[in-house]
Amino acid sequence: MTTAQGPGPAPRIILDEATTPAPRLDFGWEKAVAAVAPPGGRGWSTPALLGAGAAVLVLGLSLLEAGNFVAAQFDRAAWLGWLTLAVAAGGFGLVFTAIWREARGYLALRSVDRARAAHARGDVATLRAELEAWQARLPPSRARAEGLADMPADAVCALVEAKALVPIAQDAAALGRAAAVQAFAVTAVSPSPGLDALVFVWRGIRLVRQVAALHGFRPGIAGTVSLLRRVALDAAMVAATDVAVDAMVRGVLSSRIVEHVAGEAAAGAVAARRMILLARATDEACRVLPRR
């Protein structure tokens, strides 16, 4: 058919016998090109299973032990039983409140993933719901984007970016600068490098939690660890930048006298810069929308 040069059958249109409009063709394109879902998690890791088992054992056995003890106290005297029950309920109540708060802080970070995934796949309804839920968690004084219900996706993202995310990024940068000043000062006056590292770690974790709080997150211990994992990728960039800045500063200040005078200041400058970049990386990790 494709190479023949003869006249062959002439082109023609053969209309369907049915005169009613035919449905439009459907190639099932949406399903054919749908993004391949990433493989699901393989369940809990061994350390997580160990930790969860130990926690269940400790808490469960403690509860059973406390129950037995309360029952024994009731056998001795009613008032003693009630008093023991109140003490046990108060103590376990505080423990469970702490666990609940940890879990909530940890799960709140998942909303970032949900919002970004909805944005990536163009799911406007989910994105709008996630953004509204996220805005509801922001501190009361923080400006919010209103009237998202009637807007197209692009406008929703642009408004949330301008109204909420940009001011948060500015505040995060301010927190980073404040932490940088402190890190610089501590490094300059610190008597030992070991203390430097300790102060830096403490101030860094505090900075990460402060920036997360700007985004409406209240990470507990588990939440902070999760957040630090998110920041890790950007932190690799921070480390790479550090090497370059450190080398440059020390290269510029190579004179012996100048090095003596400014050597510690140079180390402090590197530490300060690290704080500024850490604030920026944390802000990036907590954003509900990818940077435009």
- Which listed residue (25, 136, 149, 257) binds other proteins by CB under 8 A? 25
Q: Binders of other proteins among 68-87, rule CB under 8 A?
A: none
Residue 161 tokens read as: 């970016």
Q: Tell me the closest approach of the beta carbon of residue 155 to other proteins, in angstroms.
A: 13
Residue 25 tokens read as: 């063709």
Residue 237 tokens read as: 């960039």
The Cα 89–Cα 86 span in angstroms is: 5
Contacts with other proteins by CB under 8 A: the residue count is 41
Of 21 and 43, CB closest to other proteins: 21
- DSSP 8-class letter at 149: G
User: Is 29 a residue that touches other proteins (CB under 8 A)?
Assistant: yes
User: Is 43 a residue that touches other proteins (CB under 8 A)?
Assistant: no
User: Is 151 a residue that touches other proteins (CB under 8 A)?
Assistant: no
The Cα 257–Cα 79 span in angstroms is: 78
Helix (H) or strand (E) holding 165: none
Residue 140 tokens read as: 């009361």
Of 25 and 136, CB closest to other proteins: 25
Q: Binders of other proteins among 217-276, rule CB under 8 A?
A: 236-237, 240
The Cα 204–Cα 190 span in angstroms is: 17
Q: Tell me the closest approach of the beta carbon of residue 274 to other proteins, in angstroms.
A: 15
The Cα 203–Cα 182 span in angstroms is: 9
The Cα 52–Cα 67 span in angstroms is: 22
| CA contacts within 13 A on the Cβ side of 260 | 2
User: Is 39 a residue that touches other proteins (CB under 8 A)?
Assistant: no
User: Is 140 a residue that touches other proteins (CB under 8 A)?
Assistant: no
User: Is 125 a residue that touches other proteins (CB under 8 A)?
Assistant: no
Q: Which residues contact 164 (CB under 8 A, 6 or more apart)?
A: 135, 138, 142, 143, 144, 145
User: Is 189 a residue that touches other proteins (CB under 8 A)?
Assistant: no
The Cα 124–Cα 141 span in angstroms is: 27
Q: Tell me the closest approach of the beta carbon of residue 92 to other proteins, in angstroms.
A: 45
- Per CB under 8 A, which region of 19-27, 181-189, 217-225, 263-271 contacts other proteins? 19-27
- Which listed residue (47, 120, 137, 147) binds other proteins by CB under 8 A? 120
Of 15 and 189, CB closest to other proteins: 15
Q: Which residues contact other proteins (rule: CB under 8 A)?
A: 1-16, 18-19, 21-27, 29-30, 32-36, 120-122, 124, 236-237, 240, 290, 292
